[in-house]
Every structure is written in C-alpha cells, then in structure tokens.
Amino acid sequence: MKLPSIFNLMTDDLAIDLGTSRTRVFARGRGIVVNEPSLLAYDTPTREVVAVGLEALELEGRASEDIQIISPLQDGVVADSTFAGKLLEFYIRKARDGRTISRRVLISIAADASDIESYALRYAAKEASVANVHFVNKGYVAILGSGVDPDDQRATLVVDVGAGTTTISAMVHNHLIFTRTLRVGGNDMDTALVDMIKQNHSLLVGPRTAERVKIELGCAVPLDQENTTMVKGRSTIAGNPEMAVVNSIEIHEAIEPIVNRIIRAVQDALEALPPEASGDIYDRGMILAGGASLLAGFDERLSKETDLSVQLTESPQRAVVRGLGLLFENPLALRRALIKVEP
C-alpha cells in the first residue's frame, strides 16, 4: 500500500469562496474547514486588525468609537485590498491547521469582473502571501456545486443569489454558454429593511436585526395573513433605546424592488439563451443556489414569473465552495473554469 508522503501530509490544496457576507474555505481531503463572516474589526487610529470573522461579528454594534467593523468586500468584489488580504491570510492560516504551505489555492471570481476588480483580488491574494493562486469562474463552480454533471449534453441553468451578487449561468457539456453577474443580493434586502424601519418607525437598527427580520418574515410573495415581529434599536427622535413592531406587509414592500430586479435579470437571461438551450431549460427548469435564494416564496415567485420549474440545490449557501472543491478531482473542469487575471 502506498503511503502519503510527508510533503502531502504537511500541505493542502485550498479553495476559497470569498463572499460579501461569508468566507468559506475547502481543504482537499478534509472538506469545508472555514465558514465564517467576511468581517474584520480594526483600530481606527492605528489600522491594526483586532478581530476577524465571528469575533468581529460579536463586536458589531457594541464596539467603541475607535473600533471600525467592515467587510472588505462589497457587491461581490474587493473594496479594500489591504484588509481583504488580511482576511484571506487569517482564514488560510486557520484552514491550514498546522500545515506549512498550500500547493494550490483556488479563489472564485465573477467572469465579468472588471480589470480593476480582478487586480484588487490578485493584490489581496498577494497581501495574504498566497503564491500559487488560481482564479476560477464563479458561475461555473456554482453549477458544479449544484450537483450538475459537467458532461451533461443538455443545458442547465443555475441562479446563484448571494449576499452581494446574483450570478446567472448556463452550461452545456462542460462549456458555459451564458454567465452574467448582477450586483444585487441579500444584503440589499437587509439595507432596504434598515431604511424602511427608520422611515416607518423612526428607529435605527443594525444589519443583523434587519437580516433576522428578513429570515423571520421576509417573503417574495404577499402573505395571506399579516404577521409581526419586534425590533429594538435607537430612536431617531429621542435618541433613546426603543422597540417597534414591524409587519410582514411593510417587509414585503421593502424587499419587493430587489426581488423584482433579480427576477427581471433571470428573464433577460432566458431570452439571451440559444434556442436549443432554451428548449432544454423549458424541459428541465432551473436550479437555485446561494443563501439569499432561501428567502421564503422566492422559488415559487420565480417559477410563476418564468413559467418554469424551480428547485433549490442542497445547502444552497455552500454551492460555490462545493463546486470549487470538486475541481480538484476533475482536471478538465478545472481547466474550463480558470480565469486569467493579469498581475
């Protein structure tokens, strides 16, 4: 029996889904080893990082004025290369779990990312001291991670609704025939809810509260019965801590423009597909991935608006990182997925 070499025991191939909301890292042979918020906290005067991930999340809304909590990624792209590099470095070190180096690191990126956005991600990888890094098409791996056979002769359409972006992709026989990224996702719904609560109830709440409200009562279709939930925040009038009751009707109205924008993008994508691929999609329907696709009633609404069957993939939040991990076992798929990013 051939035993693994010492080199193999001390190294890992890593695949990273560096998302707007969460960062997930897949280690070859070990599975998903990191799944934490894409957040870091830093001291404003010194710009020294004081917390990353879950620790930074715990400080949100509770830290002193000198501590700033940010996500270095906005709308699916790097907004601050230096801090994104520190975030990457922290999670890569955590994923290595005592291993000295990584032979390869795969990072997903939108196929239609601009040169500036691509450069910012490469710079972040450089800041994290990642030498052998490869960038792969996010739409491709979302399809792969949704359980689609890349060698399937018929077209498959996957809509990946994430926190910062929505990626719509179609594949036939290991070739992407369509991919488009819309800079809108679950975080936009949260922002809309923060604005609505401020306007309707004169109450300032944070993104965590808005996300909770979205999960509890958010729905892509109007509910038959009005439901309510309580939120706590700071009054914009008195400046004191206060509580308000928000209802499902105003929540639906707040997120409706974002839901509608995503659906319109899917409809536009369907119109852009080649005729034969359209026939395949008509027969097979489409697959939903991404955490924001779990919004109640979203699959029902999308099916109604497109006249197609819609199914959620297993653990939709993990579709991209799952697809990244599968690339290590499929060299042809890896070659197809690679995107050249100029240094």
Determine the pLDDT at residue 98: 62
Cα separation, 99 vs 8, whole angstroms: 9
Output the six-digit token pair for 127: 């800041």
In the chain, the amino acid numbered 286 is M
Q: Is 147 exposed, middle or buried (0-12, 13-18, 19+ CB in 10 A)?
A: middle
Topology of 149-312 in CATH? Nucleotidyltransferase; domain 5 (3.30.420)
Give residue for tokens 């179609």.
Answer: 170
Q: Please give the full DSSP string across 8-25, using - where no structure is assigned.
A: HHTEEEEEEEE-SSEEEE
Domains of the chain: which residue ranges?
Answer: 6-141+320-339, 149-312
174: left (phi over 0), alpha (psi -120 to 50) or beta: left
Q: Let me know: does 109 contact 124? Beta carbons within 8 Å.
A: no
Output the six-digit token pair for 191: 């922002």
Topology agreement, domain 6-141+320-339 and domain 149-312: yes
pTM over 0.75: yes
Residues 6+ apart with CB under 8 A from 224: none
The pLDDT tens digits along the chain (343 residues) read 333 443 344 457 999 999 999 999 999 989 999 999 999 999 999 999 999 999 999 887 777 788 999 999 988 889 899 999 999 999 998 998 765 555 789 999 998 888 888 888 988 888 888 878 899 999 999 999 999 998 899 999 999 999 999 999 999 999 999 999 999 999 999 999 999 999 999 999 988 899 999 999 999 998 888 999 999 999 999 999 999 999 999 999 999 999 999 999 999 999 999 999 999 999 999 999 999 999 999 999 999 999 999 999 999 999 999 999 999 999 999 999 998 876 6
Determine the pLDDT at residue 1: 35
Strands 166-172 and 156-161: antiparallel
Edge-to-edge, what's the strand order for the sheet holding 22-27? 31-37, 22-27, 11-18, 101-109, 133-137, 338-339
Determine the pLDDT at residue 247: 96
Give the chain's largest Cα–Cα span: 74
* 6-141+320-339 maps to CATH 3.30.420.40: yes
